Amino acid sequence: MTAPLAPQYDPSEIESQLYAWWRERDLFSPEGAARARGGPPGEPYVIQMPPPNVTAELHTGHGLNNTVQDVLIRFERMRGRRALWVPGTDHAGIATQNVVERLLAKEGLTRFDLGREAFVERVWAHVGETGARILQQLQAIGCSADWSRTYFTLDEDLSRAVREVFVRLHEKGLIYRGHYIINWCPRCLTALSNEEAEKEEVDGRLWHIRYPVADGDGHITVATTRPETMLGDTGVAVHPDDERYRELVGRQLRLPLTDRRIPVVADEAVDPTFGSGAVKVTPAHDPTDFEIGRRQGLPSVDVMTPEARMSLATPERFQGLDRFEARRRVVRELEERGLLEKVENHRHAVGHCYRCGTVIEPRLSEQWFVRMEPLARPALERYRDGTLQFIPERRGEDYARWLEGIRDWCISRQLWWGHRIPVWYCEDEGCGRVSVSRTDLTACPGCGGAVRQDEDVLDTWFSSWLVPFTSLGWPEPTDDLATYYPGHTLVSAPEILFFWVARMIMSGLYVMGEVPYTRMYLHGTVRDTQHRKMSKSLGNGIDPLEVVRQYGADALRYSLVTGMSVGTDLILDPDDFETSFGPGRNFANKLWNAGRFILSNLDGPPRPLAGKVANVVRREELTLADRWIVARCDATVREATESYERFRLNEAAAAVYRFIWSDLADWYIEQIKPRLYGDAPGGDVARAVAAQTFDVALRLLHPVMPFVTETLWRRFPGRPADASISVAPWPLPDPRAEDADALREFGLVQEVVSAIRAIRAEYGVQPGQVVRAVVSRPDSGDGALDRERLTVTRLAKLSDLSFGEPRERVGGHAVLSDGTAVFVPLGDAIDVERECQRLSGEMKRLTQLVESQDRKLGNDQFVSRAPAEVVQREREKAATWREQREVLSRKLELLGCGT
């Protein structure tokens, strides 16, 4: 504690130690934080972490999502709330199973070689090995979740809760088993929900095929994007009012390439204005056709195996062909037989497996479903009545639209890794009882005969949609559940709005009777400079841990927070870390240097600025600069607090950045140096003001940059050894600090100094050279400038500051926003002759540029032949050079060149 601060800030030395110290002190649990803070425990505030996949590696998406949550939880923790951030990992059925299957494939094995039990053991071993590395990675970026409450969705407790919900929903008729068309992944060999079948636009084709009339002449033309499915057609449907086909309804067609005959049926679902007005009906391979088939009593012919190869139900020559191979062959044969009327290019949406990218095959099968409409209705009501607040607001409409069009949720998966469906079937054919049970069954409750459990497992999201209460101990009536349900804020990527966010609201309402949280912040996506989403396959990702190694966690967090506002994406350049993360590192360094300066000037605790205590700094002791920085600090407290509250984290960070970098470091610290070094009075007041406004700034910044702020904050003299900024009280605005006069008057001082500095730079005045300045004010009020004469002369490096009209002609000139004119005589400060020469040379160069540009733009050939935007660019260049010439000519005049 007493060793001086290192001259350079080195995050790598500090971060992991500091993180370990926070954990040792148990500051991330609401109880531990309350103990460390002392006083009452505060109102609960809960955020549920979107549980990462147990095998995941941290990417920038996690980085962004969890940094935002950490900022909010740290903010509320400092505000004295019982802040709980619940972490966990998701067993991620399909994703994890795929990972282990890939590992097995390297050994030349499949899961079937191992068998179910051994395979599941293997997955557990793998998961245990990787040991939820993702959680350690979240710790490396500073996340202050309550790790003592970490759950895993396959934990015994959570599994029991999952089963409880399944049984309850089944008892209420909200879970059912049915034979329907579902989305099938032929690679993962499982059913998927509608949300898991990601729609992607592809350039496909539309084949128009003729089906000849069986006993007679003519044909009906149907169109399809999947010709191979025609082998499973069991009818052709037309609209009942379609005159063109009136004669044909009820008659038979010959299904090409097969020896089957299929009927023409009339069905209201057919759109007579689309294509030929006739559609092929393939009940086993299309959801709409399935419905038509049911209504019309058409059979279902399943022409594909689970792997999407052509089944035994197809003519022999097709059997075993992959669906896309079969497609080519079907098309070729149709063409040969003159049954292919035409082929059109056709762009349409095709479902892809969200885990492996394989094209989804709609497939008829027996699955378990959740009846969603009764769950969706109250979830929609809570949005309509304003209980649920979405940030940004438009996400609320996405939510409402999805709920309004909700379809039943297919929850069974033909996987081995996951919660096995708690359903047992009686082996006795005479009994055949299906039992849904909270406990494992070994015998049929009906006949006592043997039972077998359903082979399938539940969709991963069937456990994660319950975590707001299952992670707190439900169905047991735990203290945690009573205290921390319902929670408050959810921070999520928009991609999982339907998968997770909306479903949690439904389950929370159904099971707990209350929504699990009321404010949902859906932040943007991390993209590269070409606006592509960062992904492993594109190789355009950024490893957040590499950023931490090179720049520190604070720098990473700062960039993630400041790069994105509500409703926008975050753009980062994977090839240029310096541009992306340099600003955060530079800010940490600036903070470090300001901290070193302030702390090295304190030889004990500074005098308090407020409170009923001895030795308090009285208002009358403050100088204009003191009053100004105190007022600026107060304004920053207001701005930052309000921005954090409204999820405008970038604005909060920007406000604190401005205050620390510009107000405090660049102005105030520079201004008070004479007082600190003893040649001006009031050194103790300056020290007190600098230290305490810096303390406030550190606290305001702590949620975004926890490490550097804690390190500096703990170094303040008089701080107890175990004090942590993470439970320090959040700064409150102080009406006594508001000071419009000080803001205006010191603001004028700053403007004058800045104007003189700008003139010095413009005319190349050497840094060590003093100049004079003459200020004339539109009204007589130069009192503040006069009183702050010392500040202005010192900061602008003046030998003299006078008021009134300048008597000289040669010099630099500026007019401020309020009409104040600043004049810097330059005759004795620079070599006017040389400056005139330099400027004249520059003038000559610009004139040549302008002239040649005018010739170019006067050339009709160039103007008519070059692309419009090139011509436009050249015109803009000419205009810029003209402007520069004008500025130069004013300068030459002011310096009296050539006279």
Note the residues at the interface with Zn ion (CB under 5 A): 185, 187-188, 353, 355-356, 358, 426, 428, 431, 433, 444, 446-447, 449
Question: At its nearest, how many Å lie between Zn ion and the CB of residue 323?
Answer: 15
Burial of 838 (0-12, 13-18, 19+ CB in 10 A): middle
Nearest to 556 by CA among 6, 58, 22, 73: 58
CB nearer to Zn ion: give 353 or 570.
353
List C-alpha distances in Å: 378 to 388, 392, 395, 508, 701: 12, 22, 18, 11, 40
CB nearer to Zn ion: give 431 or 832.
431
Alpha-helical segments (H) within 552-648: 553-562, 577-600, 624-645
Question: At its nearest, how many Å lie between Zn ion and the CB of residue 359?
Answer: 10
How far is 899 from 897, CA to CA, in rounded Å?
Answer: 6
How far is 351 from 286, CA to CA, in rounded Å?
Answer: 12
Nearest to 698 by CA among 595, 558, 601: 595
CB nearer to Zn ion: give 190 or 650.
190
| Residue 858 bridge partners (DSSP) | none
Answer for the pair 460, 90: CB distance below 8 angstroms, yes or no: yes
How far is 51 from 93, CA to CA, in rounded Å?
Answer: 13
* One-character DSSP codes across 86-105: E-EEB--HHHHHHHHHHHHH
CB nearer to Zn ion: give 360 or 701.
360
CB nearer to Zn ion: give 356 or 815.
356
CB nearer to Zn ion: give 190 or 311.
190
Question: Phi and psi of 451, rounded to 5°?
Answer: -130, 155
Question: At its nearest, how many Å lie between Zn ion and the CB of residue 433?
Answer: 4
Q: How many CB atoms lie within 10 A of CB 446?
A: 14
CB nearer to Zn ion: give 444 or 749.
444
Answer for the pair 682, 622: CB distance below 8 angstroms, yes or no: no
Nearest to 168 by CA among 413, 438, 427: 438
How far is 489 from 200, CA to CA, in rounded Å?
Answer: 31
CB nearer to Zn ion: give 190 or 750.
190
CB nearer to Zn ion: give 283 or 351.
351
List C-alpha distances in Å: 387 to 60, 76, 728: 31, 21, 32
Burial of 343 (0-12, 13-18, 19+ CB in 10 A): middle
How far is 723 from 716, CA to CA, in rounded Å?
Answer: 11
Whole-angstrom Cα Rg for the chain = 37
CB nearer to Zn ion: give 434 or 870.
434
CB nearer to Zn ion: give 319 or 358.
358
Question: At its nearest, how many Å lie between Zn ion and the CB of residue 535?
Answer: 17
Verify cis geometry, omega within 30 degrees of 0, for the bond prior to 240.
no
Give the burial string for 773-804 (b: 16+ CB within 10 Å, else e): bbbbbeeeebebbeebbebbbebbbbeebeee
Both tokens of 24, joined, read: 């040792």
How far is 628 from 741, CA to CA, in rounded Å?
Answer: 9
* One-character DSSP codes across 623-687: -HHHHHHHHHHHHHHHHHHHHHHTT-HHHHHHHHHIIIIIIIIIIIHHHHHHHHTTSSS-HHHHH
Q: Which amino acid is at 449?
A: G
CB nearer to Zn ion: give 313 or 431.
431
Answer for the pair 797, 769: CB distance below 8 angstroms, yes or no: yes
Question: At its nearest, how many Å lie between Zn ion and the CB of residue 443?
Answer: 8
Question: At its nearest, how many Å lie between Zn ion and the CB of residue 669?
Answer: 60
CB nearer to Zn ion: give 447 or 680.
447
Both tokens of 239, joined, read: 């609209």
Question: At its nearest, how many Å lie between Zn ion and the CB of residue 447?
Answer: 3
Instruction: Name every residue whose Cβ is closer than 8 Å to that of residue 794 and which is 6 or more positions away in sequence.
Output: 674
CB nearer to Zn ion: give 71 or 444.
444
Both tokens of 358, joined, read: 């394989």
CB nearer to Zn ion: give 191 or 534.
191
Gap between the terminal Cα atoms of the chain: 66
Answer for the pair 12, 707: CB distance below 8 angstroms, yes or no: no
CB nearer to Zn ion: give 384 or 452.
452
CB nearer to Zn ion: give 437 or 840.
437
CB nearer to Zn ion: give 274 or 324.
324
3-state helix, strand, coil in the chain (%, to 5): 45, 15, 35
**The residue count for the chain:** 899
